[in-house]
Amino acid sequence: MERVTVYVDGFNLYYGLRRMRAVDADWQKFYWLDFVKFFEHFKDRSQILQKVVYFTTPPQNIQKSNRQAKLLDVNKLVNENRFEVIYGKFIDKWLICPKCKSKYKKPEEKRTDVNISVQMMNDCALDNTDVIVNYRRQRPYAAIRNHQGKPPKQKNKNFIPAKSIFKRLK
């Protein structure tokens, strides 16, 4: 059986779901996903979901950070070694107000893209997976597409969930 590893950009997933919730409040229930169970729906019968690796940065707001921690802790508890979290961080970016020209700081999420790339290459180099699924987009409307520049042995897919996929699971 082919071993599948899913790499999730949690920041983009969350904001994509928020955008969908603005259109239909029913989308809020997807904030509390069992990620392993969710991605089990998209593999072929000849595949086994080896692991979901979730990349995120803890929110700076303490209440949001606590909610995120609960979600990730429950996923770790339920899925054990099939769910892993890799953290990035926020870095303050200085901006200039176009009207008053004053400087202000805005936090910017960093390291997620690099962490995803490094983890994918590491898993391929160590032969930990046969298929890599890259779930990174904010737009849940887009279709599944293939990624170019695959590592020699592993299959690589950019998985961008279509709106119909979530509707099917409602």
- What lies within 8 Å, CB to CB, of 101 at 6+ separation is none
Residue 140, CA distances (Å) to 45, 52, 144, 163 in order: 24, 19, 10, 6
List, in sequence order, every beta strand (DSSP E) within 35-154. 47-56, 83-87, 89-96, 103-110, 131-135, 145-146
Question: In angstroms, rounded to a whole number, what is the distance separating the alpha carbons of residues 30 and 34?
Answer: 9
Question: Could you report how far apart the first and last alpha carbons of the chain are, in Å?
Answer: 29
The predicted pLDDT at position 117 comes to: 85
Q: Is the pTM of this model over 0.85?
A: no
How does pLDDT run across 56-104, given as a tens digit for each residue?
Answer: 999 989 999 999 999 999 999 999 999 999 999 888 899 999 999 999 9
- 3-state helix, strand, coil split of the chain in percent (to 5) is 40, 30, 30
Cα–Cα distance, 54 to 36 (Å, whole number): 10
pLDDT at 169: 46
**Residues recorded for the chain:** 170
* Count of helix runs (H) and strand runs (E) in the chain: 5, 8
For the chain, list residues with pLDDT below 70.
136-170
Residue 20, judged by CB atoms within 10 A of its CB (0-12, 13-18, 19+), counts as buried
Beta bridge partners of residue 134, listed in sequence order: 7, 158
CATH number of 2-116+127-163: 3.40.50
pLDDT at 58: 92
Q: Which residues pair with 105 in a beta bridge?
A: 94
